[in-house]
Chain A
Amino acid sequence: MSVREYLRERFMPHLWCPGCGHGIIMNNLIRAIESLGIKKNDIVMVTGIGCSSRISGYLDFHTLHTLHGRALAFATGVKLARPELKIIVPMGDGDAIAIGGNHFIHAARRNIDITAIIMNNRVYGMTGGQFSPLSGYGTLATTAPYGNIYEAFDTVELARGAGASFVARTTTYHVRSMKEIIEKAIMHKGFSVVEILSQCPTYFGRKNKRGDAVEMLKYLKESTAPIGSERKRKNPALIERGIFVEEDRPEYCAEYEKIVEKAQKG
């Protein structure tokens, strides 16, 4: 199937700015799904609100565009009603970890079979460049004109600590591994989290003088390193990327089925 068949071309042109990382993520998400050969009708995509969340309008699956921060809660309902479907939930960093943080940790704790993709551009893009809980100390934002004094969450550690059984991180620079990681995350049975470091040249880039999209991509390349690599050993400040957690653990819907069976046996 050609990539175009996954797109709702009637919704084009999309709203993303030139150079925005969200398009790269959408591209690789499509490629991952295509190479897995999953039928469009077996996928439900649930999103919240944000530039990132617009993705559900552009893709031709069953899509549910919900409320800011609530995508995972809606998705949990979808999954319980139709456990045989693949549920993919792309979210912005603000959407997933600020206003939706509570749903995020509880979805992880349940280990429910949903793929959460965090499109982390370290800023509230849609509302004009305020800092998010992933912006990090010292960054500039419209709500932090002299530097942000809040520390960032480490999404990987947060997901791991909350109980997700698949946790990975990649960037919009590393498109090939991004596709592979997304494939694995979709096929994983349990709650899978993929954090994708992305660029918002319009707000994060301009506010923090990070240059244009190309510069920002270069930065994503240079500031990250594969888990346990030589580069990381030499420079501990680098952000690790790769698969951090991949474990076979009881999944919520499967456990739910079992308990129903048990109860019905009496």
Chain B
Amino acid sequence: MQETEVLEGSEAVAFAVKACRPQVISAYPISPQTHIVEALARMIADGEMDSEYVRVESEFSAASVISGASAAGSRSYTASSSQGLLLMTEVLYASAGMRLPFVITGVNRAISVPISIQVDHQDTISLRDSGVIQFYVESSQEAYDTHIAAFKIAEDPGILLPVSVCMDGWILTHSYERVSFLEQEEVDRFLPPFKPKNFLDVNDPKSWGSYAEEDVLMEFKYSIHRAMQYGKERIKEIFSELATITGRDHGGLIEAYRTRDAEVILVAMGSMVGTIKEAIDKLRSQGQRVGLIKIRCYRPFPFEDILDNIKVAKVVAVMDANFSMGSEGALGMDLKAKLCGRRGAPLVLDCVAGLGGREVNEKRVLEIVERAREVEESGLPLDEPYWAGLRPEILPEGAENDRQGKIG
């Protein structure tokens, strides 16, 4: 019988991390991540948890400390948000290159400037090329479960990469939800102690990150990509192994929601998924064939699983809570790149939604579905991504003539 409690999302994550018994934790405060590491600090101080907690002077140091700890053979953990994640970037590329399997909670928050503490995915999306595996979650329960899976995935001998569990700031970290916990013995059985084959061992000296012959870098990088690409099946196995223990199946790399006969399929990740599901139920009850693909694993990109679920779709509408300035949103780009040249591929409607906490409510989702229907009718893609909920009245004059959101 699992214990269930109503508690803050941050606290749920802290309980998950505690159950995974990391030996080293290091962090620097930044909202909205702070409650997680404060809870861990308290658990360690109260003797409920046996870990070294290193309070450092910046996120750069935090990422470096846990990388060092990981190289020394310890299970290690950190959490950050926004500017803090950006500051970790240089370190994280190196850690992935060194194949260090630690876990980071990426509590999603917008990036300055302008200064904003509201949620969007720009921070973790900026790390998508680093070699860090990325999961996105919809609820506190999923955050709890995914953290437990994350350590096992990171440490899998065929994977060995940092894993980031990304969760929306405030909406998930600061709201209270009912969360069920595993027994410690169950977690211990699922996740045995970290015993890496390679670590800094005084009896068997090895080196990490050294200069390599210039003509091998490409192979090193390809190896990270391989570990991700071929790790996909392993990730799914680990997720389903955990699901049999918890009795909760959040899906594999994706969750397909009412997609089987859907003509319009939305693609999204993070907490907005909950709102989208409700909107879809409503549309379904009106007879519209609409579905959703929730991306749980963003890196590696689960294209095969997406493809399996969009076979009959006419339009796929991607909702990106991030944007690559001067181009498009990341999810939209990934999907279009993979679909390009495939016979019978659906049209893609790319939307930017929820930047800097701009609300994604049912009305907005319905608007997007309507747009998708227009695209379906015209048979043409958009000229430029549609910025859902943009406020033209505060944009510079002339913006009303922009091609944003206009069809072909």
Any B CB within 8 A of the CB of A11: no
A69 to B29, CA, bound (A): 13
Residues of B within 8 A of A143 (CB): 29, 37-38, 41, 55
Any B CB within 8 A of the CB of A165: no
A99 touches B29 (CB 8 A): no
A49-B115, A67-B112 given; A130·B34 CB < 8 A = yes
B29 touches A127 (CB 8 A): yes
Within 8 A of B (CB), among A89-129: 98-99, 101, 124, 126-128
Residues of A within 8 A of B57 (CB): 98-99, 101, 133
Any A CB within 8 A of the CB of B307: no
Any A CB within 8 A of the CB of B102: no
Any A CB within 8 A of the CB of B42: yes
CB distance from B366 to the nearest CB of A (A): 37
Any B CB within 8 A of the CB of A68: yes
B20-58 toward A: CB 8 Å interface, digit per residue (1/0)?
000000001111001001100110011000000001011
Residues of B within 8 A of A68 (CB): 83
A145 to B39, CA, bound (A): 11
Residues of A within 8 A of B83 (CB): 49, 67-68
Residues of A within 8 A of B37 (CB): 143
Chain A count of residues within 8 A CB distance of the other chain: 21
Residues of B within 8 A of A126 (CB): 31
B30 touches A65 (CB 8 A): no
CB distance from B43 to the nearest CB of A (A): 10
A150 to B57, CA, bound (A): 12
A146 to B30, CA, bound (A): 21
Any B CB within 8 A of the CB of A142: yes
A101 to B55, CA, bound (A): 15
B45's partner among A67, A131, A133, A146 (CB-CB below 8 A) is A146
A142 to B30, CA, bound (A): 13
Residues of B within 8 A of A124 (CB): 29
A98 touches B58 (CB 8 A): yes
B38 touches A150 (CB 8 A): no
Residues of A within 8 A of B28 (CB): 99
A151 to B37, CA, bound (A): 21
A145's partner among B31, B45, B55, B58 (CB-CB below 8 A) is B45
CB distance from B299 to the nearest CB of A (A): 26
B29's partner among A65, A130, A145, A150 (CB-CB below 8 A) is A130
Residue on A with the closest CB to B27?
Answer: A143
A253 to B42, CA, bound (A): 48
A interface, CB within 8 angstroms of B: 49, 65, 67-69, 98-99, 101, 124, 126-128, 130-131, 133, 142-146, 150
B interface, CB within 8 angstroms of A: 28-31, 34, 37-38, 41-42, 45-46, 55, 57-58, 83, 112, 115
